Amino acid sequence: MDRIPTKISFVVSIIIAILLSLSPILLLFEHHGWSDILDKIVLFLTAFLIAVSNIFLQSRIQSKAITLRKLILYTVLFNFTLFGINVLVRTPFWIVIPFHKPPLFLFVAIDWVRHIIIALVSYWIVSLFNKNAQQVGYEIKLNKLENQNLQLQLKNLTAQLQPHFFFNSLNVLSELVHIDVKKSDDYIQHLSNIFRYVLSSQETSIILLTDEINFIKSYLFLLNIRFENAVRIEYNLSEEENYAIPSLCSLIVLENIVKHNNINNITISISISNNDSLSIGNSKNKKMKFEVESLGLGLANIDKKCQLLLRRGIKIKETKDMFEVEIPLNKLG
């Protein structure tokens, strides 16, 4: 378990000391001899030191795997020692207090009750801190495991897409080199960009949006060559250098478009929306159901990934004529 930071220990101890010394300090308005003032200063300082010591002790012993019996034993012995020191320090002031002096044992009893309250409050504060730190640690580990699992699922999904995509791309290239050498050079360049993107994205969770846009442009360039300019592409981008995006998400969305639509005079729009999202939309030209080999959990997986990384999920908007996916962005700076 983590130990309570020193600053927090001091602040909490000051608050405890003020609360437990407040009532006696208010009596100074009626009795304010030098011995009274000195006694209340010593009262505050001892309460503060007792609180700091108890928080330090509890932070130390609760961070170790010890039995409840040992915890109680250490706490009792430690506080008996502190109380003895406290009584020795304050007794001279109790003796010289002039007004309505009660018996000495009453001073001792009041201080003992105050001491027990400090010890119990210190134990409770440290236990609460440790419980909260442990819960946060569990959540961090759980999120890390979920993220690793989701990244693995996306890698597997991408691995399933890659052979199909690259096989089609190589088929197109083999025909293109005999028809248009210049265009085939451009095609190879864009294909290498996609290779680079896929390989680098599998090693990182979030990438720059500028890199993602370059990938999208390369992907759509290849798509238009493959389908002989049957795809109309619209870009509405601004300030893309100010954003980052969860990796591999746009690849899944674009493959989803190809998988579920007849690529014949459809429009694909790429834009940055007002709610800090990358919007990828397409006009519908649905394939028949028996033609579609479903991507399964593709969109569900990227939604989980965005939730884990950015605490925001994807948004899907669908009308009779359009289908749109909004992928959340992380604003840089």
pLDDT of residue 164: 66
The pLDDT of residue 316 is 92
> How many other C-beta atoms can be found within 10 angstroms of the C-beta atom of residue 211?
18
Q: pLDDT digits over 276-300, tens only? A: 899 999 998 887 654 445 545 678 8
Domains of the chain (ranges, CATH numbers): 6-139 (no CATH), 177-331 (3.30.565.10)
> pTM for the full model?
0.56
Question: Which span out of 144-148, 203-207, 302-306, 321-325 was modeled with the highest average pLDDT?
Answer: 321-325
- Confidence label for 106 from pLDDT (cuts 50, 70 and 90): confident
